Amino acid sequence: MDYYNNNVTYYISLDGHVELERYRYVYFILTLAVYLLIICCNSVVISVICANKSLHEPMYIFIAALLCNSLCGTTAFYPKLLIDLLSETRLISLESCILQSFLIYTYGASEFTLLSAMAYDRYVSICKPLQYATLVKMSTVRKLLFICWFLPSCEVGIADILTYQVKLCKFQLHRIYCNNSALLKLSCGDTTVRNSYGLFVLVIAVFPPVIFVVYSYIRILTVCLKNSREFRRKALKTCFPHLIIFTNFSVTSCFELFAMIMSVEFVVIPPLVNPIMYGLKLQEILNSIKRIISGQRLKAHKQKVHL
């Protein structure tokens, strides 16, 4: 590791890999397979939504945005991990470490805001159906998506700028990926202000979206109980994937906050589960995927007959 007083360059050793030396190639193959599966599943659903004009509605646009966010988060995590699995040194510059931290935690904060925007869409659709076209216009969707990515980027960006300004006295980062709290532990100065701001970002990034989603589902449940069984069935059909994904992401985020050993679930399980849930549970997306597959088979059959 290098340290220069002029134009300071830090190299942080990432040593969070368990029994890496013995099983590095096994871990590499499994990690690469998971990453490719995440890219494939998310890309398929995003492509189907983009290609099918009948799916250019707020609910599906939010789904595509959620899956794009998952791709951004996993791409900030997996490539570096794959390199580390085949590397003898596993080093990363401070600038790259800060960038990875920014991308991963912007992904996490944006995920919560996107899930709350989707809850708003479902709330208006079920509780105020006559006002849906007025309250959830495409201009509203664009504004919500801008907020979902812009605000988390600013919040996390400020935290990373504050972290970048600290002087490091240690260079051993005991994590599989970089984050602000781990970097601040390497500092030799007072980090009270930076830790306080990090806690502030955590609170405003997590609790308001979670409270809003819970409130939305309480209102949805209240409306469903007052309506017919068929109404409840349709409401459950559209809300169930979102509720499962919200619960899944909230639980895996808790592992990131409180259980360091299982913190990788934060960037592994949600990006893999999200497209599967929406691809299988929402009939419109599933039907579109089936039509694409059937069309490809028919095209291949015609080419074979022609030959």
Give pLDDT tens digits for 198-250. 889 989 999 999 999 999 999 999 999 888 888 888 888 888 888 889 998 98
The length of the chain in residues reads: 307
If one counts the domains in the chain, the total is: 1
Q: Are 268 and 34 in contact (CB under 8 A)?
A: yes
Least confident of 146-150, 164-168, 262-266: 262-266
Range of the domain at 54: 11-299
Q: Which residues are 92's β-sheet partners?
A: 12
When pLDDT is cut at 50, 70 and 90, the band that residue 291 belongs to is confident
pLDDT of 302 higher than 50: yes
User: What CATH number is associated with residue 50?
Assistant: 1.20.1070.10
| pTM assigned to the model | 0.85
Q: Considering the chain, what is the average pLDDT of its residues?
A: 83
Q: What is the 3-state secondary structure (H, E, C) of 33-71?
A: HHHHHHHHHHHHHHHHHHHCHHHCCHHHHHHHHHHHHHH
Residue entry with tokens 């959620």: 66
- The residue with greater pLDDT, 128 or 304, is 128
Looking at the domain assignment, is residue 271 inside a domain?
A: yes
**Residue 92: φ, ψ to 5°:** -150, 140
Percent of the chain with pLDDT over 90: 40
Asked if residue 151 belongs to a domain, the reply is yes
Which residues, in sequence order, are bridge partners of residue 176? none
Q: Does 242 map to a domain?
A: yes
Two tokens at 147? 């907020």
In a domain, 3, yes or no: no
Query: Residue 81 falls within a domain, yes or no?
Result: yes
Q: Please check whether residue 95 lies inside any domain of the structure.
A: yes
Q: Which residue has the higher pLDDT, 145 or 255?
A: 145
229 belongs to a structural domain: yes
Mean pLDDT within 261-275 = 75
For residue 278, being part of any structural domain is answered with: yes
Please give the helix or strand (H or E) that residue 19 lies within, else none: none
